[in-house]
């Protein structure tokens, strides 16, 4: 334990995670969060009592409403959204498709989707597919890969042709933290809708979707929300758009009365119209434990720890790695930085492979980036020390 860990008001939360007592250094909680200890028993209880005990009755008793009740919990704990605007289901990729299609359909006559070249691949691929499908053009924003989309860049890209702007709140590569209210205002001034991808911010950076005037958002639950591999994603649609927007995957679970089993589709009122098929209930269980934990810690305290961790990682990298040619490729201003730090060096691909062998688990991202994901409730300052000392050793051994 370092002095920083001793002074960390959230230090005790680490013990709640499976494996955090092991020497392994985990820098990938932003790709797959660790499981909570309470999650195993929760899953076992679900199999025994709810699935095994209630059987098909479980749907009426609880499961059918779960995508929306957890959506409301997300709204309260991490999204800054009043009830009735968020729901859980599908993957982020599928939800991106649904909401991008919904948005461009709501802006008929406009011909462009604005998106940056450094946005996450799935966001770019889905946007490209929709552009082709709907006869639209992608207007690309070129960004500095050590930073991200700024107000100036967005202002230059939007016009009366823009139907939709798609931006990530925290850039997956650099951790650039976009100014949501400002960029949303710029898009709105051009008459466009905005879809925010929250995968790399939700659960580590406080969000105020309602107050910021956000139209649409999607995000993962298996990163900082520790929902487990492939846990379903979530979407947010602002109340003011719920009556007007419809989505393209017209399934029975989003229909006005699923059990009427009528001859044709009519969308449900409210957020349920964005659901399509039977929800993945088992996948939604672990996420509830993490939401409860974040609520008890307080999201502002989580963010404060996140800023302290990333600031410390940059400080140690400057001290230990700069003379080996390592360059910090994330914003140095904590107000513009999300929950991870990327360090560039020409050998980082090899370094990452060697680190995995040594039970130090970061990610590698092109070009030459070692990505340190510092999940605030499960990562210690001591891990940062030990992990970066290993980076130094591996770099020395490769030099």
Ligand X SMILES: *Cc1c(COP(=O)(O)O)cnc(C)c1O
371 part of the active site: yes
Distance CA 279, CA 284 (A): 9
- Helix, coil or strand: residue 177: strand
DSSP state of 334: G
90 part of the active site: no
CB nearer to ligand X: pick between 136 and 195: 195
Residue 231 Cβ vs ligand X, minimum distance, rounded to whole Å: 9
According to DSSP, the residues that pair with 363 across neighbouring strands are 371
**Catalytic residue selected from 97, 371, 381, 385:** 371
**Catalytic residue selected from 197, 215, 289, 385:** 197
SS3 content of the chain, % helix, strand, coil (to 5): 45, 15, 40
According to DSSP, the residues that pair with 202 across neighbouring strands are none
**Catalytic residue selected from 13, 172, 222, 236:** 222
Distance CA 5, CA 89 (A): 37
Residue 172 Cβ vs ligand X, minimum distance, rounded to whole Å: 4
**Catalytic residue selected from 13, 27, 97, 120:** 120
Residue 5 Cβ vs ligand X, minimum distance, rounded to whole Å: 28
**Catalytic residue selected from 16, 34, 107, 223:** 223
Residue 33 Cβ vs ligand X, minimum distance, rounded to whole Å: 12
| Sign (positive or negative) of CA dihedral 216, 220, 224, 226 | positive
CB nearer to ligand X: pick between 161 and 306: 306
383: Cα within 13 Å, side-chain hemisphere: 27
Please say whether the beta carbons of 322 and 314 come within 8 A.
no
- Counting DSSP H helices and E strands in the chain, the numbers are 12, 13
Residues that bind ligand X (CB under 6 A): 91-93, 120, 122-123, 168, 172, 197, 199-200, 220, 233
172 part of the active site: no
CB nearer to ligand X: pick between 225 and 321: 225
- Longest Cα pair distance anywhere in the chain, in angstroms? 69
- Helix, coil or strand: residue 307: helix
CB nearer to ligand X: pick between 180 and 316: 180
Residue 91 Cβ vs ligand X, minimum distance, rounded to whole Å: 4
CB nearer to ligand X: pick between 92 and 288: 92
According to DSSP, the residues that pair with 111 across neighbouring strands are none
- State the catalytic residues: 120, 197, 222-223, 371
């Amino acid at each position: 334990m370092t002095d920083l860990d001793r002074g960390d008001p959230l230090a005790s939360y680490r013990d709640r995670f499976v494996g955090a007592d092991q020497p392994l250094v985990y820098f990938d909680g932003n790709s797959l969060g660790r499981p909570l200890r309470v999650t195993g028993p929760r899953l076992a209880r679900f199999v025994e009592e709810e699935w095994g005990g209630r059987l098909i009755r479980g749907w009426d008793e609880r499961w059918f409403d779960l995508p929306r009740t957890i959506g409301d919990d997300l709204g309260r704990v991490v999204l800054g959204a009043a009830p009735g605007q968020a729901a859980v289901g599908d993957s982020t990729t599928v939800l991106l498709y649904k909401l991008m299609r919904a948005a461009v359909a709501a802006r008929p006559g406009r011909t462009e989707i604005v998106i940056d070249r450094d946005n996450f691949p799935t966001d770019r691929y889905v946007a490209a597919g929709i552009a082709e499908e709907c006869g639209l053009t992608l207007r690309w924003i070129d960004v500095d890969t050590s930073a991200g989309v700024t107000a100036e860049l967005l202002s230059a890209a939007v016009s009366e042709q823009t139907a939709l702007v798609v931006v990530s709140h925290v850039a997956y590569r650099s951790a650039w933290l976009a100014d949501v209210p400002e960029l949303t205002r710029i898009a709105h001034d051009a008459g466009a809708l905005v879809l925010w991808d929250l995968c790399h911010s939700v659960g580590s950076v406080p969000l105020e979707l309602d107050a910021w005037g956000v139209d649409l958002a999607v995000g993962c639950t298996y990163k900082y929300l520790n929902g487990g591999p492939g846990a379903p994603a979530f979407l947010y649609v602002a109340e003011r758009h719920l009556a007007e927007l419809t989505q393209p995957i017209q399934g029975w679970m989003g229909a006005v009365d699923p059990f009427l089993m009528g001859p044709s589709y009519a969308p449900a009122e409210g957020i349920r119209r964005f659901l399509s098929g039977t929800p993945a209930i088992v996948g939604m269980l672990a996420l509830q434990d993490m939401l409860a934990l974040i609520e008890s810690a307080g999201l502002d305290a989580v963010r404060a720890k996140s800023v302290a961790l990333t600031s410390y990682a940059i400080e140690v990298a400057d001290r230990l790695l700069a003379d080996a040619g390592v360059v910090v490729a994330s914003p140095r201003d904590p107000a513009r930085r999300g929950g991870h730090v990327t360090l560039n060096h020409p050998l980082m691909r090899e370094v990452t492979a060697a680190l995995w062998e040594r039970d130090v688990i970061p990610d590698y991202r092109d070009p030459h980036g070692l990505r340190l994901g510092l999940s605030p409730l499960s990562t210690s300052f001591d891990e940062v020390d030990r992990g970066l000392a290993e980076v130094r050793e591996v770099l020395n051994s490769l030099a």
